[in-house]
Amino acid sequence: MSLILQFLYVGGAVLLLFGAAVFFHEWGHFYVARRRGMKVEAFAIGFGPKLFSWTRDGIEYSWRLIPAGGFVKLPQMLTSEALEGKAAVDAPPPASPLDKILVAVAGPVMNIVFAFVIASVIYVVGLPVLVNPSSIGYVDPTSAEAKMGIAEGDRIVMVDGRATKTWQDVQMATVIARTNMVPVVLERNGQRQSYVLEAKQSVVVGGKFLNLDPKDHPTVMDVTKGSAAEEAGILAKDTVISFSGMPISSTEQLIKLIQKAGGLPSPIVVQRGKEKLSLSITPKVDPGTQVGRIGVALGSNSVNVYEVQKPGPLPWDQLNDIWKKTISTFSALIHPKETGVGAKDLTGPIGIFAMLATWVHTDYRLALSFLVLLNVNLAVLNMLPLPVLDGGHIMLSILEAVRRKPLNVRIQEYATTIFAVMLISFMAYVSFHDIKRFPLFKAMFKQDSQIEAAPSAEPASVPVLQNAPTNSR
Q: What pLDDT sits at residue 281?
A: 93
Which tens digit of pLDDT belongs to each residue from 293-303? 998 888 765 56
Q: What pLDDT sits at residue 105?
A: 95
Mean pLDDT of 6-29: 85
Which tens digit of pLDDT belongs to each residue from 351-392? 888 888 888 888 899 999 999 999 999 999 899 988 888 998
Q: What pLDDT sits at residue 374?
A: 92
Residue type, 168: Q
Decide: 196 and 269 in contact? Cβ < 8 Å.
no
**What pTM was estimated for this model as a whole?**
0.68
Which has the higher per-residue pLDDT, 213 or 354?
354
Please calculate the CA angle 440-177-301 and round it to the nearest 5 degrees: 30
pLDDT-derived band at 79 (thresholds 50, 70, 90) equals low
Nearest by Cα to 416 from 170, 118, 62, 74? 74
pLDDT surpassing 60 at residue 29: yes
Q: What pLDDT sits at residue 467?
A: 34
- Among 53-57, 79-83, 302-306, 404-408, whose mean pLDDT is lowest? 79-83
- Among 114-118, 271-275, 409-413, whose mean pLDDT is lowest? 409-413
Q: What pLDDT sits at residue 30?
A: 92
The Cα 278–Cα 188 span in angstroms is 34
Q: How many CA atoms lie within 13 A of 248 on its CB side?
A: 27
pLDDT-derived band at 1 (thresholds 50, 70, 90) equals very low
Instruction: Give me the chain's average pLDDT, please.
Output: 82
Which tens digit of pLDDT belongs to each residue from 118-149? 999 999 999 988 776 788 877 878 889 999 99
Q: What pLDDT sits at residue 176?
A: 85
Range of 69-83, 115-129, 231-245, 346-360 with top mean pLDDT: 115-129
Q: What pLDDT sits at residue 98?
A: 92
For the chain, which domains are there? Answer: 1-131+302-395+404-473 (no CATH), 133-216 (2.30.42.10), 219-300 (2.30.42.10)
Q: What pLDDT sits at residue 13?
A: 83
Which has the higher per-residue pLDDT, 460 or 145?
145
pLDDT-derived band at 88 (thresholds 50, 70, 90) equals low
pLDDT surpassing 50 at residue 463: no
pLDDT surpassing 50 at residue 230: yes
Decide: 250 and 215 in contact? Cβ < 8 Å.
yes
Which tens digit of pLDDT belongs to each residue from 162-204? 898 887 788 888 888 888 899 999 999 889 999 999 988 765 4
pLDDT-derived band at 469 (thresholds 50, 70, 90) equals very low
pLDDT-derived band at 86 (thresholds 50, 70, 90) equals low
Q: What pLDDT sits at residue 204?
A: 47
Mean pLDDT of 449-454: 70
Decide: 45 and 22 in contact? Cβ < 8 Å.
yes
Q: What pLDDT sits at residue 87?
A: 55
pLDDT-derived band at 71 (thresholds 50, 70, 90) equals confident
pLDDT surpassing 50 at residue 236: yes
pLDDT-derived band at 456 (thresholds 50, 70, 90) equals very low
Q: What pLDDT sits at residue 350?
A: 84
Mean pLDDT of 238-266: 82
Mean pLDDT of 112-116: 96
Report the 3 state secondary structure along the chain.
Answer: CHHHHHHHHHHHHHHHHHHHHHHHHHHHHHHHHHHCCCCCCEEEEEEEEEEEEEEECCEEEEEEEEEEEEEEECCCCCCCHHHHCCCCCCCCCCCCHHHHHHHHHHHHHHHHHHHHHHHHHHHHHCEEEECCCCEECCCCCCCHHHHCCCCCCCEEEEECCEECCCHHHHHHHHHHCCCCEEEEEEEECCEEEEEEEEEEECCCCCCEEECCCECCCEEEEEECCCCHHHHHCCCCCCEEEEECCEECCCHHHHHHHHHHCCCCCEEEEEEECCEEEEEEECCEECCCCCCEECCEEEEECCCEEEEEECCCCCHHHHHHHHHHHHHHHHHHHHCHHHHCCCHHHCCCHHHHHHHHHHHHHHCHHHHHHHHHHHHHHHHHHHCCCCCCCHHHHHHHHHHHHHHCCCCCHHHHHHHHHHHHHHHHHHHHHHHHHHHHCHHHHHHHHHCCEEEEECCCCCCCCCCCCCCCCCEEC
pLDDT-derived band at 443 (thresholds 50, 70, 90) equals low
pLDDT-derived band at 461 (thresholds 50, 70, 90) equals very low
pLDDT surpassing 50 at residue 160: yes
Mean pLDDT of 327-350: 79
Q: What pLDDT sits at residue 242?
A: 82
